[in-house]
Chain A
Amino acid sequence: EAEVAQSPRYKITEKSQAVAFWCDPISGHATLYWYRQILGQGPELLVQFQDESVVDDSQLPKDRFSAERLKGVDSTLKIQPAELGDSAMYLCASSLAGQSYEQYFGPGTRLTVT
């Protein structure tokens, strides 16, 4: 069964360092999402791509976060510099175009900033 791949699964970094996460969506899924999930809360959308274009990044802290999906397939989310408040689970999801209601999530990257 096709799955969304993410790496790394866990990342510990020091405050002010740079960190990057990678996501490979399910083949054929044109829409890719990056979410941040704080323990005990629901996922919060950071950025949504349709193919290689950003269609929503309204909640992305653009002073320190960046995301790209250059060829419309896999994607990278970067944080620079990391802050203590960035400690969270970062989830990647994908869906067929026009079917945002049914998203398939990767296992996530648990980020701890010390």
Chain B
Amino acid sequence: GQSLEQPSEVTAVEGAIVQINCTYQTSGFYGLSWYQQHDGGAPTFLSYNALDGLEETGRFSSFLSRSDSYGYLLLQELQMKDSASYFCAAWGSSNTGKLIFGQGTTLQVKP
């Protein structure tokens, strides 16, 4: 089967750094994506890692270790608007290359 695990909730203060971890078990793994979803909104694409290492996009960075079946999303200089749910999603070959989403991590940023 295919599954992803991530913490259900994380709390941090404005200006801090927070890391959201994701471990996965999936066959034919291609890469790991991250999505952000605000309450009542639609998921929006943040990043994709196909290779091991760190990818940086502004305040957000994403890391992948294929040997450890592990990745994380790093959010720096937290702002109140970063309060949202964050989903890791594994892209695998299976038979259609569909995206399998984790259950999501709710990030609460406090002043």
A residues neighboring B (CB under 8 Å): 33, 40-45, 48, 55-56, 91, 93, 98, 100-108
Decide: B98 and A100 in contact? CB cutoff 8 A: yes
Q: Which 8 A-B pairs have the closest CB atoms?
A: A42-B101, A105-B42, A56-B96, A101-B91, A101-B48, A101-B33, A55-B96, A105-B43
Q: Which residues does chain B contribute within 8 Å of A106, judged by CB atoms?
A: 42
* Least CB distance, A113 to chain B, in whole angstroms: 19
Q: Which residues does chain B contribute within 8 Å of A105, judged by CB atoms?
A: 42-44
B91 and chain A: residue at smallest CB distance: A101
Report Cα–Cα, A43/B101, bound state, in Å.
Answer: 6
Q: Which residues does chain A contribute within 8 Å of B41, judged by CB atoms?
A: 107
* Least CB distance, A104 to chain B, in whole angstroms: 7
B43 and chain A: residue at smallest CB distance: A105
> Which residues 63-101 in B have Cβ within 8 Å of A in the complex?
87, 89, 91, 95-101
Decide: B96 and A48 in contact? CB cutoff 8 A: yes
Q: Which residues does chain A contribute within 8 Å of B89, judged by CB atoms?
A: 42, 101
Identify 7 residue pairs between A and B in the complex whose beta-carbon atoms are under 8 Å apart, listed by A's number.
A48-B96, A55-B96, A100-B97, A101-B31, A101-B50, A101-B99, A107-B41
Q: Which residues does chain A contribute within 8 Å of B91, judged by CB atoms?
A: 100-101
* Least CB distance, B43 to chain A, in whole angstroms: 5
Decide: A102 and B45 in contact? CB cutoff 8 A: yes
How would residues 7 to 36 of chain B score, 1 for a CB under 8 Å from any chain A CB and 0 otherwise? Answer: 000000000000000000000001101000
Decide: B48 and A102 in contact? CB cutoff 8 A: yes
